[in-house]
Each structure stands twice: as structure tokens, then as C-alpha cells.
Amino acid sequence: MEIDRPATNGDGAGAAEEMDLERPFLRRSSSGSRRRRTAGETPLGSPSRRPSFRQEMGHAAAETYLITRLTLILLRYLGVGSRWITKFLALGFYALLLMPGFIQVGYYYFFSNQVRRSVIYGEQPRNRLDLYLPINGSTPKPVVAFVTGGAWIIGYKAWGALLGRRLAERDVIVACIDYRNFPQGTISDMIKDASQGISFICNNIVDYGGDPNRIHLMGQSAGAHIAACALVDQALREHQGENTSWSMSQIKTYFGLSGGQVFKYNLFDLVDHVHRRGLYRSIFLSIMEGEQSLQRFSPELTVQDQSFHPAIICLPQIILFHGTGDYSIPSTASENFATALRSVGAQVKLILYEGKTHTDLFLQDPLRGGRDDLLEDVVAVIHAGDAVALAKDTTAPKARRLVPEWQLKLAREISPF
């Protein structure tokens, strides 16, 4: 079913060497036995042991060093061509125009008691996640595991702060998963990190007031691609009887927002598209582990492979959101993915938002305040079947505007995304 929405007003040294360019996406070997934490065990990132101010400052300094170092490595790939300089300047002006909102969200992120930052879920430097907790914790809450976007290069868990805040206000716990970006890692590393983050959430979210049987997976832009890859990989593993650290039965929905879930059969068309958008061909192919791997890391092509068909039954319901005005990742990406999923019998719904761009749905609209169509659509799915939550949704106060309208409109015009 397609729904058209009208437009509304309103780490350390040597990290790069950790890349393994030969690892397949759909691995057939066992990943180890599933192990649920028993009563009395202390989980990683236990809510009872919040880090001290000194520890947080040390962690912030380490992350700053890591990001600076990776930026310098990335610059060696980018060079200083005119296209890169233009994109960089556009990004700077874009961020400046939205700064009033970013400051307010940043204050919430760093000082709210409802945010648990940098909870450790694995051994890699970027294996951290942020938790956004509702104020009312009297009953177990539904959970959204969110994988942020960032062109596989500049993704960071804090990019999900605005979404986390909005959903937490609607009694939903949000876990924003960080993962290794290029050049610290390639697509295999990103998928592995995302899956490990999902595993931590499935096995530990009860300690933060979450319901481990009401978990929804969501990804935005490149994060939608990474999350979809992790999802189909897990479905295949479970169908083949492998022991895994989390269960697909815990994932109720996959939400794909403005995702690049599909790599076209004509691979050169995609490479040329992202090259024109500023993600140079050499970088893109390095991220995806070479041209020969593009098909392997395409969820659309994976679900159409006959060897995957028996695993379709393991997939949760899939809901794809996309703006028809998205020129970074055209809405045809989600349309084609939805068509492929329907052709093999998966449960899928496609919701299109008329005229919305790549950043409208995730940034400009939430910063505008008032009714947010995407948020309402997501919450309606999460709260389906919960009469009490649905009743509260009907009386939920409208979100406050964070950025003046003229700044939002100008930011929309100069957005490099």
C-alpha cells in the first residue's frame, strides 16, 4: 500500500587496518551461541553505574581525538576539489541556519536526566549507544533501536537526539546506535556493529525500563541501508538454524527512512549518481568493499535471491518512508525495495511524503514544531493495540518550534544533502 502525504507548512592508531575487505555479507558460519543475561548479572552500561564527570570528559576527549584523526585520513581520500569545497561550505551554512535548534537539542542531550550517553555495547571504539528514556517509567516501554545516517562517513549516534527526544515524549525508549564509519571501517564493519548494538538492546533494555518483546528497528538514509543489511543477514542466520545473540521475534517492525536500501542492477548508474552528489566514486567503492561487492550488500537483490526465499518468514513487518522531493536518495529507491519485498511475500508498506526532501522529514519538520506527520505515523505503529497509549496520543501536546520559519526554508534550499 502506498500513501502519498501532502506537503505541510508550517580509533586508536591502526583503526584503518582493521578493515577486512573479504568478509561476505551473508555469512554461513556460526556466530556463537545465543546467551541471555541471567538475573543478578551486571550488564555492560548498567544504569546503576553512571560514569563520573571525569570519566565523561576523558571519553569526550578520546572521541574528539578519534574523529579528528579519522577526518584527516578522510581528507586524504577527498582531496580539495571544488565539489568537495562547495559541499563543505553548504554544510557549514546549513548548520549555522539550524543552530538555534541544535543548541536546544544539544542542551537536552548533555544535561537531561532522561538521556544515558555512550552506553558500551561492544569492544570497538565506536561501540556505544545513547538511550532516551521517557519520564514516566512505571510500566515497560516500547523501544526503537535507531541507526543514524551520514553517507557511511559522518554518521554519529548524537544525530538521533531530536528523534530520541520526540519519541521519549511519547513514552517510547530510543536507543541510538553508533558504529564505525569509513575510513575506520567498511560496510561489513558497519553491519557487524549495528547487529551487535541491536543484540545489546534486545538482551539489556529491560534494565532501562524497556519491553524486550516490543522492539522496533529504524534506520535513516545510510543508516536505513545498514539496518536493512543487518536485518536480512539475521533472518538468514536464524532460518539456517545458527545460534545468534538476538532473535528476530523481538523485532516487531523495521522502519526505513529515506533509505538507500537498493543498489541498481546497473551498478555504474549508482556510482555515477553518488559521485555527482559529492561522494566520490573511489570513496564509495572503498566503503562498499569494491565494485564486485555491490550486489552482496544490496538488501533488494538479497531478498530476491532464491536462497533467501525460505527466510522471508523471519522478517518483521517493513514500513518504508520517503519524500518525493528527495534528490540525495530518490524515492524510487524505497519504491523498488517495496516492490521486491512484495514479490517474495514480505509484509511491506510504503509511505511517500509529497515534496519532502532528504532532510525535511528528519530535521526541518521536527524543528518546525507542531504536527509532524512522520512522527505520528511511527508512533501509530508502535502504539498499535495499546488502547491506553493511543488515547494519550490523541491528547499529546504539540511540539514547540525550535527554529524560525525563514531559517528553515533557507536551510532547505542550501542543504548539501
Residues marked active site are found at: 221, 326, 358
If residue 58 lies in a helix (H) or strand (E), which one and from where to where? helix 53-78
> Dihedrals φ, ψ of 113, to 5°?
-70, -10
- For residues 151 and 222, the answer to whether their CB atoms sit within 8 Å is yes
* d(C-alpha 39, C-alpha 42), whole Å: 9
Provide the β-strand partners of residue 146: 176, 218
The helix/strand/coil state of 56 is helix
191: its cell numbers: 553491519
242: its cell numbers: 545458527
* d(C-alpha 145, C-alpha 134), whole Å: 15
Strands 115-120 and 128-132: antiparallel
- For residues 50 and 133, the answer to whether their CB atoms sit within 8 Å is no
72: its cell numbers: 584527516
- For residues 225 and 299, the answer to whether their CB atoms sit within 8 Å is yes
Provide the β-strand partners of residue 5: 353
Name the one residue in this structure whose C-alpha cell is 546497473: 266
- For residues 299 and 261, the answer to whether their CB atoms sit within 8 Å is yes
* d(C-alpha 396, C-alpha 277), whole Å: 39
10: amino acid identity, one letter: G
Beta-carbon contacts of residue 315 (< 8 Å; ≥ 6 apart)? 231, 232, 235, 248, 254, 346, 347
- What's 324's DSSP letter? T
CB burial of 79-102 (b: ≥16 within 10 Å; e: otherwise) equals eeeeeeeebeebbeebeebbeebb
Of 218, 305, 289, nearest to 253 by C-alpha is 218
